[in-house]
Structure formats: structure tokens, C-alpha cells
Amino acid sequence: MKKLLKFALMAVCAFGMTACNDDDNNKPIIDPVEPSVNVTGVYVLSQGNYYNGLNGDLTYYNPATSDYTNGLFEAVNERAFGGTANDAAIYGSKLYIANTDENVLEVANAQTAKSIKQISLSGARRIVADGGYIYVTSFYGNNVTKIDTTTLEIVGTAETGTYPEAMAIQNGKLYVANSGYGSGNTVTKIDLANFTVDATLDVPVNPVEIFSVHGQLYLGCSGEYNDDYTYKVNPAIYALATDGTATKLVEATISAAGKDNIYFIDNNYYKTEVTYGRISATDQKVENLVFDKPVVYPCAIAANPQNGDIYITGYAEIDYGGGYYGADYNSNGTCYRFSADGMKLDQFPVGISAGRIVFLTK
């Protein structure tokens, strides 16, 4: 049996964000998608590897024909967008891409990926949209920026905790997960009406993901390490009350909201196998998922909001020597498409560290 080399657990999540017809549409993109939504394509955002000078990019995939295009953004714009593309969202007619170490929010046409504007934002990290605005966390600035999606101008900034990650919007409040670079234990609650901090909630350690599905908040935490890099607190998903009370639902390292569920992967190195599942947003029941083509080194997961097809990206494998194998963070990976019941339907190549999957609609 191959020995698996310990690799850094990726605090990643892919959320299927759907396009609206107008940028000033007041429907939050994090709300459950109506069954009539028509998914016309899929974007897979590859982060790249900033420290090794390897750029990320977009792969476009057409689920109706199985056609795909790698390196789309660079081909269309004749430039790369760097090596820390950490998040992507489609809202209205635009595609937004947050590049953390490049300190840039890239704005492009959602249908063509042609760049419209670059907005300078220190440590642009994660994106969510609501009511004609997008909100972007600053990983290094410890704040969240509000941007008008029509003028593409910054219209407000609110302070958060340290190293803020994902956000969710519910009942006029913006909830921001503050990772603290692994040691944080707070969620900042911001009133969207006046864009000021309403409260700071105490939560389990290292929150990096947060979702709102059917009026319920869910929090994904990456856990806490011991000095020897084993886990003191395992990564997990929690049901989160608006007062900060957290109820543990399942242990997981990767999570995504979509198709009325929270989807998760647990690729905790210290466990014997990778497990997959979903949490029903109706009753919070946890269901294990079994795929007929297991993904050995998963990076991201998402569900098609139209038909429930499940997409999972994975790293290539590399031999580190001495019989130790692990994820390859310098090579292109693969995206696998499964039916909702786990049958493999297709696969296609993607870029390096493919950590976001978003769904394009018309």
C-alpha cells in the first residue's frame, strides 16, 4: 500500500453562485436557487501557486456537450491573473475573482471572461453579493469592502476580526468568519443597513466558511493544531445560531452550499480514508455519499443548482520519494462530474489547485 505524504489541508469551499439578469437585482445569490434555473456552463477557478510563480486561471466546461476550455482568462485577456485566485462569484452580468496576494479584485464579463476592471483591494479574499452590491473580505486589512456592482466603485468599509474569510448574508446581516490565521474564534455580524458592526460572536476555532441556507447559518471551521501538527480540534461543520451558539454536525475539511444541502469532504490526513457527504438544509440530517470513482486528493466540491450533479476537483499525485505519495501543488488537476447518487458522468482537466466551482446561467 502506498504511504500518503502529509499535505496541508486546504481550507477551501466551492459554492455554486448563479447569475441574475441585472446587477441591481435584490435577490441574494446565496439564497436557494429556484428549480427553474438553467445552468449553461461551469467555471472552475484554479488558484495556481504564487510562491512558485505558477499562475491560476479559468476552465470553462459545458455539461451539455462535455466540451471544455482551459486557460480561458489568459487566452481572452492576454494576461494571467496571478497565483492566489482564492474566490469567484457570478452576480448579474459580471464575474468577480478575488486574488489575495496580488491585492486585486478582477471584474469580468460573466459570459466571455473578458476583463472589465481591476479593483485594488488589500488581500482580496472572499466574495458574496446582495442587493446590487458585492462584499469582499480583506485577508490582510481585517475588513470587508462594499462595492456597487453598477459603478464598480467602493462605497463602504467595515472592520472585522483578523484574517477574515467567507461571508454569508441573512436577514439584513452580513456574517464574516474570522480565521485569525488558524487561531481565530469569532464571527463579525454587520448590519447592512448602516454597514457597521452589530456584534462579535464567539464560535469554534478557525472559522473559514459560512453559509446561509433556508434561514439557517452553517459554519465550517478548519480546527486547531497541536505543536506536532496533529489536530487538537478536528475540522468540522456546525449549525450556527445568530447569537453564536454552535452545534457540531459532522467533521469535515471542505464544504460547499448548494441544491438545498451543505456538501462536505473530510480528507483529514490523520484518518484512514477520505469521506464524502451532505447535510440536509431541511432537517440537518447527515448523509454519507459514495462515488464510483473516488477522488484521492480532493480540492473542492460543488453541486449543480439545476439537477444536483456533484463536481469534485482533485490534485494530481506526485511521488515524493521513498514510497511517499501526496498531492501535487505544482501541476494541473482534474474535475470529476458525478450524478446526485454518485455515478461518474464525466471528467476534464483543470489548472493548479482548482479550489472554486461556479455555475453560469442565462
pLDDT (tens place) for every residue of the chain, 362 residues total? 333 333 333 333 333 333 333 444 433 333 434 446 899 999 999 999 999 999 999 999 999 999 999 999 999 999 999 999 999 999 999 999 999 999 999 999 999 999 999 999 999 999 999 999 999 999 999 999 999 999 999 999 999 999 999 999 999 999 999 999 999 999 999 999 999 999 999 999 999 999 999 999 999 999 999 998 899 999 999 999 999 999 999 999 999 999 899 999 999 988 989 999 999 999 999 999 999 988 989 999 999 999 999 999 999 999 999 988 999 999 999 999 999 999 999 999 999 999 999 999 88
Q: Indicate the class that CATH gives domain 3-361.
A: mainly beta
Q: In this structure, which amino acid lies at residue 320?
A: Y
Kindly write down the DSSP assignment for every residue of 254-268, as one continuous string.
EEEEETTEEEEEE--
SS3 of residue 4 by DSSP: strand
Give the count of alpha carbons within 13 A of 312, CB side only: 31
Strands 3-4 and 324-328: parallel
Q: Which residues are within 8 A (CB) of 5 and not within 5 positions of it... i.e. 6 or more apart?
A: 320, 324, 325, 326
Task: Write down the domain spans for the chain.
Answer: 3-361
Q: Which residues are within 8 A (CB) of 245 and not within 5 positions of it... i.e. 6 or more apart?
A: none
Q: What are the strands of the beta sheet with 94-99, ordered from one edge?
A: 85-91, 94-99, 104-109, 115-120
Taking the alpha carbons at both ends of the chain, their separation in whole angstroms is 47
